[in-house]
Amino acid sequence: MEGEKKIGLICSAGGHFTEMLQLREAFKGHRIFVITYREKATLNQENTYYLETWRSPTGFIVGLMKIFIIFLKEKPDILFSTGSEIAVPPFYLGKFLFRTKLIYLECSAQVYRPSLTGRCVYPITDLFLVQWEFLLKKYGPKAKYVGGLI
Partner 1 sequence: MIFVTVGNHFQGFERLLKKVDEISPRIPNEILVQKGYSKYVPQNTKYFDFVPLSMAMEYLQKSDLVISHAGIGTIILCKEYGIPLLLFPRRKKYREHGTDHQVEIAQVLEKRGDKNIYIVYEEDQLEEKIMEAVGRKEIVETGNRGRENLIRTIKEFIETF
Residue numbers of the site for partner 1 (CB under 8 A)?
1-2, 5, 7, 13-19, 21-23, 25-27, 30, 39-44, 78, 80, 101, 103, 105, 107-113, 126-127, 129, 131-132, 144, 146-150
Distance in angstroms (rounded) separating the CA atoms of residues 31 and 41: 23
Q: In the bound complex, what is the minimum distance in angstroms from residue 139's beta carbon to partner 1?
A: 16
Q: Which is nearer to partner 1, 68 or 101 (CB)?
A: 101
Q: In the bound complex, what is the minimum distance in angstroms from residue 59's beta carbon to partner 1?
A: 15
- Main-chain dihedrals φ then ψ at residue 54, nearest 5 degrees: -80, 95
Return the H-helix or E-strand segment holding 86.
Answer: none
Q: In the bound complex, what is the minimum distance in angstroms from residue 117's beta carbon to partner 1?
A: 13
CB 89 within 8 A of CB 129: no
Sheet containing strand 48-51, strands side by side = 48-51, 31-37, 6-10, 78-81, 101-105, 127-130, 143-145
Q: Which is nearer to partner 1, 65 or 134 (CB)?
A: 134
Q: In the bound complex, what is the minimum distance in angstroms from residue 22's beta carbon to partner 1?
A: 6
